[in-house]
């Protein structure tokens, strides 16, 4: 089974999806709009970070909704070759855990860079 596959794929339970893509984002406002409309329509909660150098996403919801989200993201050329990490999960044991994990709301933010180490690695010439 590939790393991006889930043993419960196609099930009706809850799940968590993680993926990131380091690539130039040509149209940040359009991508923000995509995530707002797609995640809200699928009732996905979690965190989306969009930067000029890429995207980092951790969202939770029903497995069918997460699979629909993956299909929509895969249709965009920006995400070609992206490795989606999808796992089934039980609901958190209490609200405090859900809040700590960021799964009580949807947060979509535009940031300057996704990760400072990636930015440095790609901007410093060693020669």
d(CA 43, CA 116): 31
CA distances from 30 to 36, 42, 55, 108, 110 (A): 10, 18, 13, 13, 12
Give the class (CATH, top level) of 14-123: alpha beta
pLDDT number for residue 93: 59
Q: Would the pLDDT of 108 be above 50?
A: yes
Tell me, what's the pLDDT at 116?
Answer: 57
Rounded Cα distance, 87 and 94, in Å? 19
Residues 6 or more apart whose Cβ sits within 8 Å of residue 99: none
pTM for the model stands at: 0.77
Looking at the predicted structure, is the pLDDT value of residue 26 above 60? yes
CB-based contacts of 71, cutoff 8 Å, min separation 6: none
Position 86 confidence tier, pLDDT thresholds 50, 70, 90: very high
């Amino acid at each position: 089974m590939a790393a991006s596959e889930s043993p419960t794929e196609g099930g009706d339970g809850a799940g968590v999806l993680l993926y990131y893509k380091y690539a130039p984002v040509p149209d940040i406002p359009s991508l923000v709009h995509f995530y707002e409309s797609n995640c809200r329509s699928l009732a996905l909660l979690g965190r989306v970070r969009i930067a000029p150098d890429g995207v980092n996403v951790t969202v939770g919801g029903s497995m069918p909704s997460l699979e629909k989200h993956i299909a929509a993201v895969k249709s965009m050329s920006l995400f070609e070759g992206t490795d989606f990490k999808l796992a089934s999960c039980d609901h958190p044991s209490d609200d405090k855990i859900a809040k700590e994990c960021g799964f009580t709301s949807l947060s979509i933010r535009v940031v300057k860079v996704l990760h400072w180490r990636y930015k440095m690695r790609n901007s410093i010439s060693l020669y």
